[in-house]
Structure 1
Amino acid sequence: MSTTDESDTTGTTELAPSGIPPEDPGSRELAPGSEIPANSTVNRRQGFGDGFLSTISTGWAQRPEILPPAREQAVFAALRRAAVSAAFPGKRLVVPAGPSKVRSNDTDYPFRAHSAFAHLTAWAGDAVPDSVLVFDPRDGEDEPGHDVTLYFRERADRTTAEFYANPSIGEFWIGPRPARGGVAADLGLDTAHIDSFAASDDDLVVDEDADLTRFVSELRLRKDEYEIAQMQLAIEVTADGFDDIVADLPRIIAHPRGERLVEGIFHQRARSDGNWEGYDTIAASGPHACYLHWTRNDGAVAPGDLILIDAGVELDSLYTADITRTIPVGGTFTEVQRRVYEAVLEAADAAFAAAKPGALFSDLNAAAWSVIAHRIEEWGFLPVSAEASLDPTTGHHHRRWMVHGTSHHLGIDVHDCAQARRELYAGGTLEPGMVFTIEPGLYFQIDDLMVPEQYRGIGVRIEDDILMTADGPVNLSSAIPRTADDVEAWVARRSS
């Protein structure tokens, strides 16, 4: 493990006479002391006077470096790296964190490291953009495996120009950046400055090499004990966010864009108790609930309607929940709303019952779709029998009203393990350690002439997060009200 102390200036650049290193391509600031041409389109950037340049590097208190103990997840990340190393003997592997992404002009989106990078380093919500994890194969048969190094742009001390002149990475702008020694101790990894990293034409790079990309995705199919604990915590915080929404229903109803308030209330919980949302919150009231990924969230929330809320808190570790509840805005389901809701709940319970160790992942779909097809047949909407509709080749008429699947893996991504082979995912078997959703739904769009008018504009989805154990499935989100009676009681209790 490499360490540095405060005097380590590897990779830093001494002040040039102008006050800024002219070769610095990342700077968004003009060179200090330089004149701005009259025809320039640069309107916000200012030069620096000699008085500033002669004093900016002095008068600062000494910063002691205290090396932290390795974070809890570091030991699990080391085991994951060992698995990657064993799968690619003799190959140089590169796992980038990714760059910052521009949102508008000189404003970036909040940085989130690539999921494979976070999984293999344990560096998550506090990771630095443009970092790279590198597996260098060892020479000789006596010492197989890889030497693993984390390359990143460490902090610049106050003798360097980027400290004050570079809004992208300067500490004056974005706050302190970590030193190599602290990161090495924190993550249990050797570290080096990003300037010393050199790519090779023979490198296997995540998102460029199919085999490596697939492997690091499949590595997340089964969660370790740290990951499972994080998933449970993310769900608990998400439950608090749903409680916040239900408690604030009167204010939400009173606002002309109540869906935005739902989104904002949940965001407050996600940011206060976590890192962010794991995905854009769906706050879909009335007919909007029939649009599967409604994230515009600009509609009213009116009594008499249902509101479908699909939301999940992402923790600082980047593990996220993914929960959906459908709530009667006025506190009580109508007869038709309850009929649809209870059909969806029955489908969810059927999928849960089908979830056993060794069962096919596709069995969850089959169980939920069977309930949906039979209920729609019973209501008289289905143009064929339920059995005919369930035929995978000539049928699927029922999917007009449930076009999505019933389940997906969940973890550090909301749709985790997405690059895994189909035979291990959709065609795979359920194994202990897997975390996945069960989320059937029914959606009768406002202009659907194949259903009676009283059904139009009703959308219902119920989504829970499930852990498979050796003894069977565990609903990690069962504490959030699920049955129609419990949801009505929840609204009455929290929003009164």
Structure 2
Amino acid sequence: MTDATPVDESVPAEPSATPEEVSERVNNRSQRPVSEAFKAFITSRWAPRPDLGVEASTASEYTPARRAGLSARFPGARLVVPAGSLKVRSNDTDYRFRPHSAFAHLTGLGTDEEPDAVLVLHPTASGEGDPDGDGHGTDHHAVLYVRPLAARDTEEFYADSRYGEFWVGARPSLDDVTTLTGIEARHVDELRDALAKDVGEDGVRLLVVTGADESVETLVEAIRTEAGVEQVEDEEATDEQLVEAASELRLVKDEQEIAQLREAVARTIEGFEQVVGSLSRAVAHRRGERVIETTFDAHARLEGNAVGYETIAAAGEHATTLHWTTNDGVVRHGEMVLVDAGVEVDSLYTADITRTLPVDGEFTEVQRRVYTAVLDAADAAFAVARPGTKFRDIHAAAMEVIAARLEEWGLLPDGVTAEVSLSAEGQQHRRWMVHGTSHHLGLDVHDCAQARRELYLDGVLEPGMVFTIEPGLYFKADDLAVPEEYRGMGVRIEDDVLVTADGNENLSAALPRRPEDIEAWMARLRG
């Protein structure tokens, strides 16, 4: 990778008279030219910048309604939603940027767009109605504070390895950002004054989405302190409640979000097809699991933004480790491989699908028995996933099947029936499935995680909700509570589900689920 600091051949390599602090040595390799002649030359004789060709995003038609939903929860408060900052990977190199999910949801910005940007919903006088002219009747005016493209006569243009055009390409202008998002864009240098306006004991309350950008949180706290305003937990409006509300906004997806999830699922299914094609290479490689991982991850990067989470490629015994992401094991003939993976598309919406595949293309009798039990549990969960059902009932339906099958196989402790195990005082069957059956899905693989319990776990399903159904059974190699034929085997089947007006739709139904269909599908892909 290119050295992250410009080269300065004009500065002699002499020791500094004053020792540098350790924290200031990140760029101590810098040899940036400093002569006036260099500055004059590098900032001159450039053709006009080409138009970036920015057009309004599809999401910009939907984000006003999302912002209006947040506005309605906090009348009169100034709401601060940071995108987040670049995060250091090592010394002076950064990770690829991903904006905070609340910011992405409310602005429509995805991929690696706009580090350090901050969305602010400024309160307007009650009754002004529609300050943004978007027809949603919000009493807030949205402004995006961003770092726009710097002029070519500035030092940032050629010397700033984080933001300079010479290093990371041309950033959008303020007009570009407004065109793309439909939100008024202003320079981030104006943020402090904008946040501080009218903040006080009897004035505007200032709230920030925490966990996104520490520097913005520090700024907000400083403004509060200067204004003599302190947050109290039992207040009607707190930062925690803003985080909660921003998460709950995503519990029901709009048309644009559902379309993006369909796209993510389609690209993910293609990735699974490529995984099947890689199995022979995986068996031959000492790190066969990593062959599977890299096959899927390369596809995700080519056809989307990246993977939505670290791919799980767990062969044999590794499939009994729920979040196995080391992926350095061998893939053996006669075993199964559990692949849990999802493509994140450029809008940052991700799929989350799991299939457990027989390495040789056909299940053994015991593998099929366990796989079918998990499939039956998933089907039972699908049967209750409809409007009016509580979210927790999905898990309960799957557990009834799991407990009954374990009883049938004689795996529950002596004297324990499926009914006893399903009781709150029992739960013995959970030895072999300690995780839940479902989680919401969207911008985050575990979306809406900050929502209140009464709206999530105890919430009632509504059309537009999207979540996973993913029961499993996991028998570790050293589990003496099960017969040897089960040991070292893990099975999980995971699909992405949309609640419809009269039931549900399996968004990932195009990927085979039944064992006979998986065998036929694998045979076809292998030719």
Same fold (TM over 0.5): yes
d(CA) in 2 for partners of 1:456, 1:280: 26
| Residues 35-434 of structure 1: pairs in structure 2 closer than 5 A | 37-38=14-15, 44-48=29-33, 50=35, 51-65=37-51, 68-139=54-125, 141-143=127-129, 145-198=139-192, 199-200=195-196, 202-207=205-210, 209-383=239-413, 384-392=416-424, 394-434=425-465
CA distance in 1, matches of 2:160, 2:11: 15
Q: How many Å separate the matches in 2 of 1:59 and 1:484?
A: 66
Is the 2:120–2:143 contact (alpha carbons within 8 Å) kept by the matching residues of 1?
Answer: yes
- SS at structure 1 position matched to 2:77: coil
The answer as to whether partners of 2:5 and 2:32 remain within 8 angstroms in 1 is: no
Query: Unaligned regions of 5+ residues in structure 1, if any?
Result: 1-26
What secondary structure, in the 3-state scheme, does the structure 1 residue paired with 2:302 have?
helix
Q: Tell me, what secondary structure is at the counterpart of 1:149?
A: strand
Distance 1:465 1:474 in 2: 9
Aligned length: 469
The equivalent residue for 1:485 is: 516
1:140 deviates by: 5.4
Closer, same or farther: CA 67–486 of 1 in aligned 2, 3 Å? closer
| SS of residue paired to 2:485 | helix
Q: Distance in 2 between matches of 1:365 and 1:232?
A: 24
Instruction: Indicate the SS of the match to 1:68.
Output: coil
What SS class does the counterpart of residue 133 from structure 1 fall into?
Answer: strand
Q: Is the 8 A contact 2:307 2:342 kept in 1?
A: yes
Letter in structure 1 aligned against 2:170: P
State whether residues 35 and 47 of structure 1, in contact with CA within 8 Å, keep that contact through their aligned partners in structure 2.
Answer: no
State the alpha-carbon separation in 1 of the partners of residues 150 and 105 from structure 2.
27
For residue 362 of structure 1, what is the amino acid of its counterpart? R
- Give the superposition deviation at 1:28: 6.5
Per-residue deviation at 1:252?
1.5
- Deviation string 1:11-67 (CA, Å, 9 cap, x unpaired) is xxxxxxxxxxxxxxxx96699965555267655311315343231011211014466
Q: After superposition, what is the alpha-carbon deviation per residue over 1:422-471, rounded to whole angstroms, capped at 9, x for unaligned?
A: 01110011110000100000000111110111111100000000000002
DSSP 3-state at the match of 2:405: helix
Counterpart Cα distance in 2 of 1:447 and 1:108: 42
SS in 1 for 2:62: helix
Distance 1:134 1:414 in 2: 26
- Alignment partners' CA distance in 1, 2:79 and 2:9: 40
Specify which of 483, 487, 504 is matched with residue 456 of structure 1.
487
CA 1:136/1:35 → structure 2, altered by over 3 Å: closer, same or farther?
farther
Q: Which residue of 2 aligns with 1:470?
A: 501
RMSD: 1.8
> Kindly tell me: are residues 444 and 134 of structure 1, through their superposed partners in 2, closer, same or farther at Cα, counting changes over 3 Å?
same
Instruction: Return the offset for 1:318.
Output: 0.6
Q: Report the 3-state secondary structure (helix = DSSP H, G, I; strand = E; otherwise coil) of the residue aligned with 1:466.
A: strand
Structure-1 separation of matches of 2:360 and 2:418: 34
- Check the 8 A contact 1:67/1:181 in 2, yes or no: no
1:60-94 per-residue CA deviation (whole Å, 9 max, x = no partner) reads 11014466331111010111111111221110000
For residues 215-259 of structure 1, what are the alpha-carbon distances to aligned partners after superposition, in whole Å with 9 as ceiling and x for unaligned?
A: 111110111111111111110000000000101211121111011
Q: Which residue of 2 aligns with 1:22?
A: none
Is the 8 Å Cα contact of residues 467 and 475 (structure 1) preserved in structure 2? yes
The equivalent of 1:5 in structure 2 is none
- Structure-1 separation of matches of 2:8 and 2:188: 23
Q: Equivalents in 1 of 2:99, 2:516: separation in Å?
A: 42
Structure 2: how far apart are the matches of 1:136 and 1:47?
41
Residues 248 and 495 of structure 1 are in contact (CA less than 8 Å); yes or no, is this contact kept in structure 2? no
Code of the aligned partner of 1:151? Y
State the identity %: 57
- Give the match's secondary structure for 1:207: coil
8 Å Cα contact 2:107-2:181 kept in structure 1: yes
Deviation at 1:412, TM superposition (A): 0.9
Instruction: Provide the residue aligned with 2:469 in structure 1.
Output: 438
**Letter of the aligned partner of 2:472 in structure 1?**
G
Which is bigger in relative contact order (C-alpha 8 A, separation at least 6)?
1
Instruction: Please say if residues 437 and 464 of structure 1, whose CA atoms lie closer than 8 Å, have aligned partners that are also in contact.
Output: yes
Read off the aligned partner of 1:211 and give its amino acid letter.
Q
Cα distance, 1:126 vs structure 2: 4.2
Distance 2:318 2:251 in 1: 33
The amino acid that maps onto 1:120 is L
Contact 1:249 1:495 in 2 (8 A): no
Contact 1:283 1:295 (C-alpha < 8 Å) held by counterparts: yes
